[in-house]
Structures are given as structure tokens and as C-alpha cells.
Structure 1
């Protein structure tokens, strides 16, 4: 069976793609389905957002992304997009300093 690419498109902005953000279990289930998955690395610049929405910390976030990256490699996926959430402000924390957002982005890119 040919592999289908797993993305969706915003109808108003056809050049903008939305990728599913999967945990390890979701990734493995999707991989078994025959879908062509992106090697997505993502995280938040906001400590408060991580704590409230993900019950996580910056360190746990990076560790989780490293584990997903290992799964991607095991399944033959190369590098993919890196998304940084709350880089331009957070509804929980307010403004995010540029230096903090840049450091979190660098940490995520370092996982790849």
C-alpha cells in the first residue's frame, strides 16, 4: 500500500500546513497505519504553559523530544520541522523574553 502524507491544510491559507503532534504511542500507531509521518519536534517557550498544560518542565520537554527523535530514527525518518509554541507570548505567562524563546528554539533544534 502506498504511504499517504499525514498533514492537513488551512483552507484559507493553502501554503500553511498543520502537523499532528503525537506522543510516542500515537506515533507508533500512526507508523503502523502506513501513513508518511513528519519527524516533528516541538515545545513551548513558556515554563508556566508547560507546567499547567503539559504537567512538564523545560528539562522534561527536551527529554521527551529526544525519546521521540529516537523513535523517528528507528523508523527511518530524517529531520523534520521544529515548532516552538508560545514564542510570542503566552496566555498563562504573558510576554516571553526573546532570549528565552531563542534558547528554547536552540534546545529543540539540538534534539534534531
Structure 2
């Protein structure tokens, strides 16, 4: 939470990286444990790219607590990030994107 007289924006920016988001969530759980506050209570803006955007939407927009965020992320990650490297590499070569954007758009429409 903001302290009396505290100025400026508190921004949390979450990197992408596909399924590596589990590490991001683990770090966020530690922040919550140490501070005794949820992420949306500790930061004014939460943003990210790719998997970081999914996590930031869960905690920053939906205000999901970190435990719920972890559970939801585990459910959503399989829908978004394909396990097929050959398919992903082909998409990257043809479309300049490793994953299907329609998958992530579908998830964001549900959040």
C-alpha cells in the first residue's frame, strides 16, 4: 500500500517467456508473503508481455490473489503455448510469431 507522502507510480513489469511464467509467479508469491499484501495492493500499474501480460491481467485487472493466479495460469498456459517446437518454429518463420495469437486473444477475452 502507498505510504503517506509517497510519490510516483509503483510499476511492476513482467517479462514474457512462455511457460517460464511459473518462475514469475513463484517470485510474486514470495513478494506477497514477505510484504503480507497482494500484488495489486503493492503496485499502481502491473503490465507485461506475452505470458507476463496474462499474469498482469490476472493480478492487475482481475485482482486475483496470487494463489488463484497460479491456479488460473496453470489452466491457461496449455491453451496458449503449444508444446510442438516444429509447429512453433514454422509459425515463427512464416508469421513472425512462435505461438498462435488467436489462443492468447481468446484467453484475454475471458479475463
If the TM-score is normalised by the length of the shorter chain, which range does it land in?
0.3 to 0.5
TM value normalised by structure 1 = 0.32
TM value normalised by structure 2 = 0.32
- Structure with more helix by fraction: 2
User: Which one has more relative contact order, counting CA pairs under 8 Å at least 6 apart?
Assistant: 1
